[in-house]
Amino acid sequence: MRRFTFAGRTCVITGAAGGIGAALALDLAKRRAVLVLVDRDAEGLARVATMARELGAPDVSTYVIDLADGGDRGDLAAEVASRLGGADLLINNAGVTLSGTFEQNALADVEWLLEINLHAVLRMTKAFLPQLLARPGSHLVNVSSLFGLIAPPGQVAYATSKYAVRGFTEALRHELEPRGVGVTVVHPGGVRTNIALNARLSGPDPDGAQAAENRRFHETALTLPSEEAARQIVAAIQSRRPRLVITKAARAADLLARVLPARYWTISEAVARRRKLT
């Protein structure tokens, strides 16, 4: 399959108002891609769209959509087809997380997370798939997570969604690559976004300990700039890489989980305790 070229190609990005999604939009704007930006944050979306136009994107359209609303996105796909002729690149990037253990999590919150992290990926892909198949050299990117490779306590709902995105993407790649559509699954680890700060508190947190832990995780664990993550994702799309794991620590965790699938978390905790003592 030939390398993906971005100039003049229509690129649809969810979760484009901030974090990796915004960084992707600005990187692709410099490459003169046509941008279709989707997010529920109208103000953030407008800000990113303005910057993208200033950086050289020839056409930027924005759609304020709450991906938790259960819509099939057929109307969005139809509008993109009507106005722009169809999508050449779909990046399913939007994601949310919850705080607390599965025991603490309200089932309604788990369902909300699955709607955004998993079902929206399925629905967006289903809606745009006819366009991707009809346009030679198109590409699909689904953003999973480090927690689609390892499953830590306190992240049951999130890991469930991200493991599912991983499996969906890998199986779909085996269907689509023979038909000329590139597919990439991305596993970011430790990227500086606001996902931890914006985590929904699902369960009791009377002393604010969980919120404080979210802030600590944001400051200490999420250190790679979103712009660098976007650069790596764009490079993976260009070269048609099927799988991208972002950060050295994430690649090490992935290797450990594959070598010792039943013991990796025990080993990870032991290493973390040792580091605290040194």
Write out the chain in H/E/C secondary structure.
CCCCCCCCCEEEEECCCCHHHHHHHHHHHHCCCEEEEEECCHHHHHHHHHHHHHCCCCCEEEEECCHHHCCCCHHHHHHHHHHHCCCCEEEECCCCCEECCCCCCCHHHHHHHHHHHHHHHHHHHHHHHHHHHHCCCCEEEEECCHHHCCCCCCCHHHHHHHHHHHHHHHHHHHHHHHHCCEEEEEEECCECCCCCCCCEECCCCCCCHHHHHHHHHHHHCCCECHHHHHHHHHHHHHHCCCEEEECHHHHHHHHHHHHCCCCHHHHHHHHHHHHHHC
| Count of residues making up the chain | 278
pLDDT at 209 over 80: no
pTM value?
0.93
CA distance 168 to 107: 23
Q: What is the pLDDT averaged over residues 179-201?
A: 86
Task: Determine contact, residues 204/218, Cβ cutoff 8 Å.
Answer: no
pLDDT at position 97 is 93
pLDDT at 278 over 50: yes
Q: Percentage of the chain surpassing pLDDT 90?
A: 81
pLDDT at position 60 is 98
Task: Determine contact, residues 18/193, Cβ cutoff 8 Å.
Answer: yes
pLDDT digits (tens, 9 = 90+) for 82-128: 999 999 999 999 999 999 999 999 999 999 999 999 999 999 999 99
pLDDT at 217 over 70: no
Catalytic position from the list 63, 158, 163, 264: 158
CA distance 5 to 11: 11
pLDDT at position 220 is 56
Which residue would you say has higher pLDDT here, 122 or 222? 122
For the chain, what are the domain ranges? 10-246, 249-278
Which residue would you say has higher pLDDT here, 224 or 33? 33
Q: What is the pLDDT averaged over residues 257-265?
A: 93
Q: Tokens 């039943």 belong to which residue?
A: 262
| Residue 158 among the catalytic residues | yes
pLDDT band at residue 190 under the 50/70/90 scheme: confident
pLDDT at 277 over 60: no
Mean pLDDT across the chain = 92
Looking at this protein, which amino acid is placed at residue 182? G
pLDDT at 162 over 90: yes
pLDDT at position 196 is 63
pLDDT at position 9 is 98
C-alpha dihedral, 260 to 263 to 268 to 271, nearest 10°? -100
Q: Percentage of the chain surpassing pLDDT 70?
A: 90
What's the chain's Rg over C-alpha atoms? 19
Superfamily in which the 10-246 domain is placed by CATH? NAD(P)-binding Rossmann-like Domain (3.40.50.720)
Which residues are within 8 A (CB) of 133 and not within 5 positions of it... i.e. 6 or more apart? Answer: 176, 179, 180, 181
Ramachandran angles phi, psi of 23, nearest 5°: -65, -40
Among residues 20, 167, 12, which one has the least CA distance to residue 87? 12
pLDDT band at residue 218 under the 50/70/90 scheme: very low
